[in-house]
């Protein structure tokens, strides 16, 4: 009897879930993708302009890439502090999230928010609450790839 | 008098003696802006952080309600209050200076209904002459507690609601001339297994439907017993679900229904998606527009049903659903 009741409850929950989906408005995927393409592309274009400008001063390619990152991150930090980056993100979605600027925003935002809880327990402990998984699993997966690379080299 | 399974009708009904509402700028810019007692432009209310700001909303609203009642602070025997933050810090730090015996309540966004129910029961039972009931929320402190830091760039789905910055407070007493509290129906925790924290309306609508249906059954009345049935913060999506769920049970409240969350903002102009939410939403709208309608006699009797989504970021991460709760308070004109 208990199993039967549980079964009925499970069916009801599933039905409710389906019903809720049917009455909840959704966003337009093509529009989101277009916005993401435009914003993401624009960020990459700015990056390329910075890169070319730096290389014009006779800096080599590797160092210029470093400068490009530093400038993009610096700009994002500034735009986040001025509350402009969240507006870009609201419009651009993944286009603003995926580039290095999105990562910078995800680090700065908690730092600003938790500043009032102190340098150690506020900023220190919470600065990576959003970026933490990216850092952890980014390092872990590169470690895995390193092992794979090492195996294929030694064979 | 105990009525039905979940309701109480007071033999000596308590009254609402005074009301106060203080809200933030965005709420002040909304359609109900002129109804509120005070609009605070500074989101931090002169403090250093969001939590202290929310406490300040409670302090100031509580004081204003006491002042408007014409009572001395000492005449208020208990305060029933709550907010959305962990350990109820907005209430703790906001109400400490009042030095009134304190019951801290957590009913998510249904807290105003819970506070008024318990306050009214106390007054009706003769354990207090006057009590204070209030609830608050703050957009920034709620985002920080439940979602993301404010400056984090992300997109909110259409079903998401916007937490109201504000506080509403009432003095409930053995006498008063704003409205009468005829009775209450206490809601159950209702869990339909929704796991979408960005669709609180869907989490709460079943609880609202349940307590409204229970109220009608307990009192053996049909929904036209009320001029309005007012939910807290179901939003546009939650309203659709509530009406459908009640229709399934043969109750049509579509012409009577009013949702504080839908009314407090202009969703298209203010970019609030599904509407307002938070304890402060139902509390501030009750303590302004709604009670004014009863005071002036425009509405004779209403069912006030603040709705709460009992969500915790911890249980949510552990894979649990978000149960809903709603408490109904029967208010009538004098």
What is residue B39's three-state secondary structure?
strand
Same domain, B134 and B21: yes
Q: Which percentage of chain B shows pLDDT scores above 70?
A: 100
Same domain, B165 and B45: yes
Select from B150, B196, B240 the Cβ nearest to the Cβ of A113.
B150
Contact residues on chain A for B206, CB-CB shorter than 8 A: 16
Distance from CA of A58 to the nearest CA of B (A): 36
Q: How many domains does one find in chain B?
A: 2
Contact residues on chain B for A89, CB-CB shorter than 8 A: 152-155
The answer on pLDDT for A3 being more than 80 is no
Domain boundaries, chain A: 29-154
Tokens of A149: 């690379």
* Residue of chain B whose alpha carbon sits nearest to that of A88: B153
Same domain, B198 and B155: no
Output the pLDDT for position B105.
98
Output the pLDDT for position A9.
75
Task: Tell the burial category of B137 from Cβ atoms under 10 Å away from its Cβ (0-12, 13-18, 19+).
Answer: buried
Same domain, B158 and B217: no
The answer on pLDDT for A1 being more than 60 is no
Same domain, B193 and B92: no
Domain boundary among B147, B173, B199: B173
Same domain, B224 and B303: yes
Same domain, B211 and B62: no
* Residue of chain A whose alpha carbon sits nearest to that of B159: A24
Same domain, B162 and B196: no
Contact residues on chain B for A83, CB-CB shorter than 8 A: 151
The answer on pLDDT for A11 being more than 80 is no
Select from A13, A85, A93 the Cβ nearest to the Cβ of B155.
A93
The angle formed by the CA atoms of residues B168, B174 and B176, to the nearest 5 degrees, is: 60
Q: Are B326 and B306 spatial neighbours (Cβ–Cβ below 8 Å)?
A: yes
Distance from CA of A41 to the nearest CA of B (A): 17
Select from B152, B192, B202 the Cβ nearest to the Cβ of A106.
B152
The answer on pLDDT for A4 being more than 80 is no
Nearest residue to A46 (alpha-carbon basis) of A83, A75, A66: A75
Across the interface, whether the CB atoms of B148 and A130 are under 8 A apart is answered yes
Q: Are B208 and B190 spatial neighbours (Cβ–Cβ below 8 Å)?
A: no
Scored b (16 or more CB within 10 A) or e, A93-118 reads bbbbbebebbbbbbbbbbbbbbeeee
Q: Which percentage of chain A shows pLDDT scores above 70?
A: 98
Nearest residue to B165 (alpha-carbon basis) of B135, B137, B134: B137
Tens of pLDDT along A44-76?
A: 999 999 999 999 999 999 999 999 999 999 999
* Residue of chain A whose alpha carbon sits nearest to that of B152: A109
For residue B299, give its domain range.
Answer: 179-332
Here the CATH number for the domain that contains residue B129 is 3.40.47.40
Distance from CA of A17 to the nearest CA of B (A): 7
The counts of H helices and E strands in chain A are: 8, 0
Domain boundary among B132, B157, B173: B173
Domain boundary among B110, B141, B173: B173
Q: Which is more confidently placed, B327 or A14? A: B327
Distance from CA of A37 to the nearest CA of B (A): 15
Same domain, B167 and B183: no
Does any CB of chain A come closer than 8 Å to the CB of residue B48?
yes
Task: Give the 3-state DSSP-derived string for B73-117, with helices as H, strands as E and coil as C.
Answer: HHHCCEEEEECCCHHHHHHHHHHHHHCCCEEECCECECHHHHHHH
Output the pLDDT for position A72.
97
Distance from CA of A55 to the nearest CA of B (A): 31
Quickly state the pLDDT bin for A99 (edges 50, 70, 90): confident
Same domain, B75 and B130: yes
Tens of pLDDT along B150-177?
A: 999 989 999 999 999 999 999 999 999 9
Contact residues on chain A for B240, CB-CB shorter than 8 A: 23
For chain B, which ranges sit under pLDDT 50?
none
Across the interface, whether the CB atoms of A90 and B155 are under 8 A apart is answered yes
Output the pLDDT for position A21.
94
The DSSP 8-state label assigned to residue B233 in this structure reads S
Same domain, B13 and B51: yes
Output the pLDDT for position B194.
93
ipTM: 0.89
What is residue B18's three-state secondary structure?
strand
Q: Are B211 and B249 spatial neighbours (Cβ–Cβ below 8 Å)?
A: no
Q: Which of residues 140-179 of B touch A (CB under 8 A)?
A: 144, 148-159
Output the pLDDT for position B228.
98
Output the pLDDT for position A2.
60
Same domain, B140 and B20: yes
């Amino acid at each position: 009897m208990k199993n039967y009741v549980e079964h009925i409850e499970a069916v009801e929950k599933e039905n409710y879930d389906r019903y809720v989906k049917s009455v909840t408005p959704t966003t337009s995927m093509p529009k989101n993708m277009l916005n993401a393409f435009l914003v993401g592309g624009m960020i990459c274009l700015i990056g390329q302009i910075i890169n070319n400008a730096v290389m014009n001063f006779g800096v080599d390619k590797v160092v210029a890439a470093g400068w490009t990152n530093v400038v993009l991150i610096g700009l994002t930090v500034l735009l986040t502090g001025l509350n402009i980056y969240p507006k870009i993100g609201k419009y651009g979605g993944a286009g603003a999230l995926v580039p290095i600027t999105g990562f910078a925003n995800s680090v700065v935002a908690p730092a600003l928010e938790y500043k009032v809880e102190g340098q150690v327990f506020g900023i220190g402990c919470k600065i990576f609450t959003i970026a933490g998984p990216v850092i952890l699993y980014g390092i872990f997966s590169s470690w895995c790839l390193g092992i794979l690379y090492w195996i294929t080299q030694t064979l | 008098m105990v009525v039905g399974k979940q309701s109480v009708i007071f033999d000596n009904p308590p009254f609402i003696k005074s009301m106060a509402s203080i809200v933030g700028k965005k709420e002040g810019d909304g359609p109900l802006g002129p109804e509120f007692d005070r609009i605070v432009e500074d989101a931090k209310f002169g403090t250093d952080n969001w939590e202290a700001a929310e406490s300040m909303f409670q302090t100031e609203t509580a004081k204003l309600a006491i002042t408007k009642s014409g009572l001395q602070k000492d005449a208020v025997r208990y305060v029933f209050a709550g907010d959305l933050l962990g350990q109820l810090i907005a209430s703790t730090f906001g109400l400490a200076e009042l030095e009134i015996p304190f019951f801290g309540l957590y009913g998510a966004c249904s807290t105003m209904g819970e506070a008024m129910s318990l306050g009214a029961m106390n007054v009706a039972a003769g354990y207090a002459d006057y009590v204070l009931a209030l609830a608050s929320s703050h957009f920034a402190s709620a985002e920080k507690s439940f979602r993301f830091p404010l400056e984090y760039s992300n997109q909110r789905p259409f079903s998401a609601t916007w937490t109201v910055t504000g506080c509403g407070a009432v003095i409930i007493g053995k006498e008063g001339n704003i409205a009468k509290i005829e009775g209450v129906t206490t809601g159950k925790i209702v869990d339909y297994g929704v796991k979408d924290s960005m669709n609180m309306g869907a989490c709460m609508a079943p609880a609202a439907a349940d307590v409204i249906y229970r109220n009608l059954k307990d009192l053996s009345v049909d929904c036209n017993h009320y001029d309005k049935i007012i939910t807290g913060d179901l939003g546009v999506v939650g309203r659709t679900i509530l009406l459908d769920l009640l229709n399934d049970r043969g109750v049509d409240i579509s012409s009577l229904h009013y949702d504080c969350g839908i009314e407090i903002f202009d969703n298209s102009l203010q970019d609030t998606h599904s509407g307002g939410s938070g304890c402060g939403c139902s509390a501030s709208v009750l303590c302004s527009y709604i009670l004014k309608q009863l005071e002036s006699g425009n509405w004779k009797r209403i069912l006030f049903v603040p709705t709460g989504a009992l969500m915790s970021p911890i249980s949510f991460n552990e894979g649990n659903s978000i149960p809903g709760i709603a408490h109904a308070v029967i208010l009538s004109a004098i």
